[in-house]
């Protein structure tokens, strides 16, 4: 008896389950599409997965509607194959819901809005089945349509076309200016229902597509102010890395023993190399005194007065000057340019009496640096060859003469 009672209980439970499933769940699931065919190859391509609050990039720049960084005005392109059948297809309804299942209460995804949707034209015009027009009046796009007992977004399109869609027809329909849900990484669904009539009655096909917003990846990179400036006296190739000079900067001026002579002019060369990303240009200055030995000195060329064209060498006369030698093999100005007046770019040429090389030197540079070269923008890797002239007269006392010329790069960022 107990077993019988147990069987009866089990039977009752199973029967109740079957009844519940067949009477409630199944009708709910297939309520609106029980007679409809499911469309194949359904897709929804959205122009942006950014959430609907985003219409600017990481730097705050506006992103145009329909572009990847604009979730506030996105483009939705639906693709599907309308099944071939002996019936027309004259209206379509797109339902925007948090659930994909037709018959289940439709709720508009949080923050989403389709009310401003516009049917695509030109390159976004419908393909396959054509002739669609956006619903108007009560069929206009809305965020508050009553759908399956809930309130969801809805876009309707219709066309008047009495021809049966008798074969499978791949089609696309695109809408613009749809606002995505306003949460990141948020899945949402669009139920697509087709009808044989122009009035969204007599359902023909159905299908659901899914999409999702996604967290954007904001990539930020910083480029810091940069200056690589070096000075040397030993020839060093710049290479691709704009290698800096690293020698001691020692430079002997004179014959092989570093000795000047009243009858012969001597010259020596040092180098500077600049690389900077200064957008507003850069200048290179020199600062220093003429050659000195205790209280004695070798007079700066032309008495230390700069001239527009520079001054030639005059052996037998005390002269110390400098100029950029554009003929030197190491010289490589691309962005920098030597100052032309007073001439600091004419150090190349002969240094015999009245020679073609021209020099200037301003001893006041010791306290007020003198600009030697400049650029209007950044400098990739420019190398200057600075040529120094040394001449003496018999009135220059014997001694070891020295000076230190400091080069200063001033970039303006």
Partner 1 sequence: MISDMVLDYPRSIRRLLLLGVVIYFGLSSLPNHANASALDNRSMNVHDTAVSAVTQHDFSFTMPAGVSVGSIRIEYCTEPLPVLACVGPTGLDASSASLLSQSGETGFTMLPPTTNVMILSRPPALSSAGTAVYTFAPVTNPSPLNSFYARIELFPTVDATGPSSDYGAVASTTTRGVHITTEVPPILNFCVAVTIPGDCSTANGSFIELGDLSPAQTASATSQMLIGTNAPFGYTVFVAGTTMTAGTKTIAALGLPSVSQKGSAQFGLNLRANTTPNVGAEPSGVGIATATPNYGSPNHYMFGSGDIIATSAGSTDYNTFTHSYIINIPSNQTGGIYSTTLTYICTGSF
Q: Which residues bind partner 1 (CB under 8 A)?
A: 222, 224-233, 245, 248-254, 257-263, 266, 268, 270, 276, 278, 280, 287-288, 291, 293, 298, 316, 367, 369, 386, 388, 390, 392-413
CB 311 within 8 A of CB 301: yes
In whole angstroms, the minimum distance from the beta carbon of 308 to partner 1 comes to 25
In whole angstroms, the minimum distance from the beta carbon of 158 to partner 1 comes to 50
Nearer Cβ to partner 1 (165/370):
370
Could you please report the per-residue DSSP string of 21-50?
IIIIIHHHHTTTTSSPEEPEEEEEEES--S
CB 412 within 8 A of CB 370: no
In whole angstroms, the minimum distance from the beta carbon of 53 to partner 1 comes to 20
Give the separation between CA 29 and CA 101, rounded to whole angstroms: 7
Nearer Cβ to partner 1 (88/365):
365
Walk across the sheet containing 319-324 and list its strands. 227-232, 266-276, 379-391, 319-324
CB 342 within 8 A of CB 348: no
In whole angstroms, the minimum distance from the beta carbon of 379 to partner 1 comes to 13
In whole angstroms, the minimum distance from the beta carbon of 358 to partner 1 comes to 19
Nearer Cβ to partner 1 (114/291):
291
In whole angstroms, the minimum distance from the beta carbon of 226 to partner 1 comes to 6
> Which of 323, 316, 315, 378 lies closest to 347, judged by CA?
323
Tell me how far CA of residue 355 lies from CA of 40, 292, 359, 389, in angstroms: 89, 25, 11, 12
Nearer Cβ to partner 1 (181/288):
288
In whole angstroms, the minimum distance from the beta carbon of 270 to partner 1 comes to 4
Nearer Cβ to partner 1 (106/298):
298
CB atoms within 10 A of CB 50: 26
Nearer Cβ to partner 1 (69/232):
232
Nearer Cβ to partner 1 (163/368):
368
Give the separation between CA 377 and CA 375, rounded to whole angstroms: 6
Nearer Cβ to partner 1 (217/263):
263
> Which of 348, 363, 263 lies closest to 314, judged by CA?
263
Give the separation between CA 319 and CA 314, rounded to whole angstroms: 8
In whole angstroms, the minimum distance from the beta carbon of 346 to partner 1 comes to 19
CB 136 within 8 A of CB 118: no
């Amino acid at each position: 008896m107990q077993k019988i009672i147990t069987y009866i209980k089990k039977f009752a439970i199973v029967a109740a389950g079957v009844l519940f499933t067949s009477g409630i769940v199944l009708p709910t699931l297939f309520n609106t599409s029980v007679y409809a065919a499911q469309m194949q190859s359904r897709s929804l391509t959205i122009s942006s997965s950014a959430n609907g609050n985003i219409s600017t990039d990481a730097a705050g720049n506006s992103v145009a509607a329909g572009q990847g960084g604009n979730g506030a005005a996105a483009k939705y392109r639906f693709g599907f194959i309308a099944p071939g059948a002996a019936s027309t297809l004259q209206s379509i309804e797109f339902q925007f819901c948090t659930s994909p299942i037709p018959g289940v209460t439709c709720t508009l995804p949080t923050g989403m809005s389709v009310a401003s949707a516009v049917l695509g034209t030109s390159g976004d015009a419908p393909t396959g089945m054509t002739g669609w027009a956006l619903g108007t009046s009560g069929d206009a796009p809305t965020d508050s349509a009553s759908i399956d007992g809930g309130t969801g977004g809805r876009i309707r399109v219709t066309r008047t076309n009495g021809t049966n869609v008798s074969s499978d027809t791949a089609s696309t329909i695109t809408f613009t200016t749809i606002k995505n849900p306003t949460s990141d990484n948020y899945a949402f669904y669009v139920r697509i229902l087709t009808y044989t009539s122009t009035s969204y009655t007599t359902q023909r096909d159905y299908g659901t597509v899914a999409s999702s917003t996604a967290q954007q990846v904001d990539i930020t990179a910083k480029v810091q102010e940069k200056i690589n400036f070096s000075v040397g006296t030993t020839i060093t190739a710049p290479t691709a890395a704009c290698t800096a000079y690293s020698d001691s900067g020692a430079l002997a001026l004179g014959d092989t023993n570093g000795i000047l002579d009243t009858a012969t002019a001597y010259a020596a060369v040092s180098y500077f190399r600049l690389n900077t990303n200064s957008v507003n240009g850069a200048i290179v200055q020199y600062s220093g005194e003429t050659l000195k030995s205790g209280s004695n000195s070798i007079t700066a060329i032309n008495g230390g007065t700069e001239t527009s064209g520079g001054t030639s060498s005059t052996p037998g006369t005390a002269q110390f000057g400098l100029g950029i030698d554009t003929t030197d093999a190491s010289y490589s100005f691309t962005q920098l340019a030597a100052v032309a007046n007073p001439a600091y770019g004419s150090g190349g040429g002969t240094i015999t009496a009245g020679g073609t090389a021209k020099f200037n030197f301003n001893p006041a540079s010791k306290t007020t640096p003198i600009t030697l070269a400049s650029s209007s923008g950044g400098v990739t890797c420019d190398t200057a060859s600075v040529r120094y002239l040394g001449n003496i007269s018999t009135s220059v006392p014997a001694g070891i003469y020295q000076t230190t010329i400091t080069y200063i790069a001033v970039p303006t960022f």
